[in-house]
A and B are shown apart, each in its own frame.
Chain A
Amino acid sequence: MVNFARGGVEGSTETMLVNIGPQHPSTHGVLHIMTELAGETVVTAKPVIGYLHRGIEKLAEQRTWQQNLVLCDRLDYVAQFSNEWAYCRAVEKLAGISVPERAEYLRTLLGELNRITSHLIWYAGVTMDIGALGTPFIYAWVAREKIFDFYENVTGARMMPNWMRIGGVRCDIDAALLADMREFLVSDFPKECDVYEALLTGNEIVVSRMKGVGAFTVEELTDWGVTGPALRASGSPLDLRRDAPYGVYDKLDFEVCSDGAGDSLARARVRLREIRESAKMCVQIIDMLPEGEIQTKIPRALKPPEGDVCVRTESPRGELGILVASDGSAKPLRFRVRSPIFYNLSAMPHMLPGHLLADMLVIFGGIDTSMGEIDR
């Protein structure tokens, strides 16, 4: 057996600084981590962000309430519908607008499909990071492309749908498309999920890379402000879809996926189970979908009353909060995005020290970053 140096050279206190990113294939965007290493072990890690700071919060103050939906798509570009939905809910709450029942169902349907595609991006990314170049990535795109075709048929765009509207949705979904999607989710998708699980949690090499790596307790993670699947993997049952239901989640029969182990493998298992749960929820929604209106009548120049509200949503990455403030005019006074990954990433300096450099990217993959939302 070869003993790899783990704690630096014996008797030496010298450490090495390594800059990972911002142009790095494993950082999923333009993230920069300043890492101090003793041998192979991380001593300190400091994420440096802002390489994709586009000033969305300022731009939103220059546009009308409806126009801002375009910016919401581009916040977290992996989970576009979640962002649109959160923003619509915030404005609807501020202006006291109610949403027709069918629109709520359709929103929930697209929100859950979005969770699937978002987790598939995570799946492709995390397997690439731990060395499985190619195979799982290609497989993840099989189901993703199928769902993207559905997005495109429904909204007209693959990635930036701009489909939800304040008070409803832009266009209805054709019954044939829904039947087609249901058929896919019932018959083909579970088989795809089997493949995903076999390639990740059923793969001995992957399991040995992930098991026991970065195990944290619920108390630690809560203290560091981590939310979402990363927190649920430590055994927390927190899920806003269950705790503070919005959309039609209170009418759906679903399981909050949590796992007690708290390590990187548990985070992977939770996300894989969430993919299956989301597919089940989508089938339920398609079966229950009522007929009716899809858009409430709202004034063309929407002017919500003075005040501010904060709305919390369970996005695929955690608790997404949108805070909007109005001064009674046609443009927002303040549009604030509480990004779940921003705070999940702020836990990295606490999480990484003591781990090997190679494990760093595994832990990093466990929180599923998307720089568009962190930097805004």
Chain B
Amino acid sequence: MRSDLVGILSIHGTALHGLGFDARAVVTREAWRDCAADLQMAGARFFDITAIDRGDSVEVILVLIDPPATHFSLRASCPNEDLRLDTLSDIFPPAEWGEREVFDLFGVEFDGNPDMTRILQPESSTIFPLRRSFVLEQRPW
């Protein structure tokens, strides 16, 4: 992990936990966008954006690559009452689709994403399937 990336994280009030490939840093929702922008300026490459439902909140995970080989993740929690986060689609262009997928499956809305519509499910769908509150129907057999 390069020292300048670690420095950027500390500016935004967070630090890396864990070693090697799965280091992670938890940021506040306010610092989410600025921190990602600074990391992008310092040369971090986009890898993935996804989320995990933690029960009372949804944790959005941005996986970044410190070229060429190391990766680390930046995380922000959205409470269930207010599932909103700033978009990263203008900082990392591929994040546009990734954010649409998080919206489609978890219901987290990204402010500023140019196309905040469902991407995988049909547009008529009303469910957010990867939320824990959504339970699949049991088979009768």
Which residues does A use to contact B, with CB under 8 Å? 49-50, 53, 55, 57-59, 62, 222-225, 238, 240, 243-244, 308-312, 319, 321, 323, 325, 333-334, 336, 338, 342-343, 345-347, 350, 375-376
Residue of A50, A58, A224, A310 near B63 (CB, 8 A) is: A310
Evaluate contact between A346 and B97: CB separation under 8 angstroms: yes
Cα of A350 to Cα of B52 in the assembled complex, Å: 29
> Is A323's CB under 8 angstroms from B48's CB?
yes
> With contacts A50-B120, A225-B46 known, is A350 near B69, CB below 8 A?
no
CB pair B122 A223 closer than 8 Å: no
Q: Is the CB of B96 within 8 A of A222?
A: no
Residue from A57, A310, A346 in contact with B73 in the complex, judged by beta carbons closer than 8 Å:
A310
Q: Which residue of A lies closest to B54 (CB)?
A: A333
Q: Is the CB of A62 within 8 A of B136?
A: yes
CA distance A58 to B131 in the complex (A): 9
CB-defined interface of B71-105 with A at 8 Å, one 1/0 digit per residue?
10100000000000000000011101110010001
Interface size grouping (class) on chain B: 20 to 34
B71 contacts A53, C-beta separation under 8 Å: no
Specify which chain B residues have a CB less than 8 angstroms from the CB of A310 in the assembled complex. Answer: 21-22, 48, 63, 71, 73
Residue of B nearest to A47 (CB): B97
Task: Give bound CA distance, A50 to B92, whole Å.
Answer: 22
- Given A310-B73, A338-B50, A346-B97, the answer on whether A243 and B130 have CB atoms closer than 8 Å is no
Given A62-B136, A323-B48, A376-B120, residue A223 in contact with residue B71 (CB < 8 A)? no
Let me know if B121 is at the binding interface, CB within 8 A.
yes
1/0 per residue, CB under 8 A from A, across B115-141: the answer is: 000111110000001100010100000
The listed residue (B47, B52, B69, B97) touching A308 by CB distance below 8 A is B52
Distance, CA A342 to CA B94, complexed state (A): 9
Query: Given A308, A321, A346, which contacts B94 in the complex, CB threshold below 8 Å?
Result: A346
In the complex, the 4 A-B pairs of residues with the closest C-beta atoms, listed nearest first: A225-B94, A244-B69, A346-B97, A50-B120
Closest chain B residue to A374, Cβ basis: B120
Interface presence of B45 (CB below 8 A): yes
CB of B61 within 8 A of chain A?
Answer: yes
Indicate if the CB atoms of B63 and A323 lie closer than 8 Å.
Answer: yes
How far, in whole Å, are A302 and B19 apart by their CA atoms in the complex? 24
Query: What residues of chain B lie closer than 8 Å to A58, measured between beta carbons?
Result: 129-130, 134, 136
Contacts A224-B94, A325-B52 hold; do A57 and B130 have CB atoms under 8 A apart?
yes
Question: Does the CB pair B45–A343 fall under 8 Å?
Answer: no
